[in-house]
Amino acid sequence: MKARFEADGDVIVVTGGANGIGRALAGAVAKAGGRAVICDVDERAMAEADAANDLISTRRLDVSDRDAVMKTFAEIENSFGRIDGLVCAAAIQPRNLVHETTPEEWRRVIGINLDGVVWCYQAAIKGMIARRRGSIIAFSSGLAHQGWPEASAYAATKGALIAFVKSAAKEVAKHRVKVNLIAPGVIDTPQYRAANEGADHERWKNSIGVGTPDDVIGPLMFLLSDAASMTASVISRDLAYPARDA
């Protein structure tokens, strides 16, 4: 059975969308006829994405800055009329031992990975409630359950997001707004490469495998679509089974 998604006229905001999974998703949304709005801090990568497709727009945004999030999302709604979907892919994964992590480093991970999702949710949710339509997706990780050396801050945010999304989803379900999570597994992205050099990469590659951003697009498009009726759910991709033959 082949899945085909139609996003004609839909406006999908993708934070952290300049690279990796977010970049691949923005391309898929545009290919399906939707408007993808990438919010990121990587201006070079955003310029490349913007030039690649007329249906991709970009906004510079640090998601840890609540005032900037509120202002940017208001501008997006003013420009395009609404926000139909929000995919919170912005995250960082610095590697450091817990006892060597400074308060500033800890707060930076929390500010982007956790607070950033909360601020974006707050900025998008009222319009979705008013329209009685919308889908919000956050990213968790297998590290939320199993942990990983030198990744405690990252793992903590991904565990916290499970609790946040499952709670927030139950607040807005009566308004027909979906809030879900995806745990994409180990995916080869710039962030992954920076955090998993050498032995860690070999360990992942030889155990559960390392997938590509395209492997995650189907589940994301499904959760954004009207075909997905679930909320407060986690779609977990635990093994790097390729979405397409090589």
The residues carrying an active-site annotation are 154
- Residue 61 has which token pair? 């945004």
Q: Are 217 and 25 in contact (CB under 8 A)?
A: yes
- Give the helix/strand (H/E) hosting 119: helix 116-131
DSSP string for residues in 155-201 = HHHHHHHHHHHHHHHHHHGGGTEEEEEEE--SB--HHHHHHS-THHH
Q: Are 55 and 33 in contact (CB under 8 A)?
A: yes
Q: Side-chain half-sphere of 54: how many Cα atoms within 13 Å?
A: 1
CA separation for the pair 234, 14 (Å, rounded)? 18
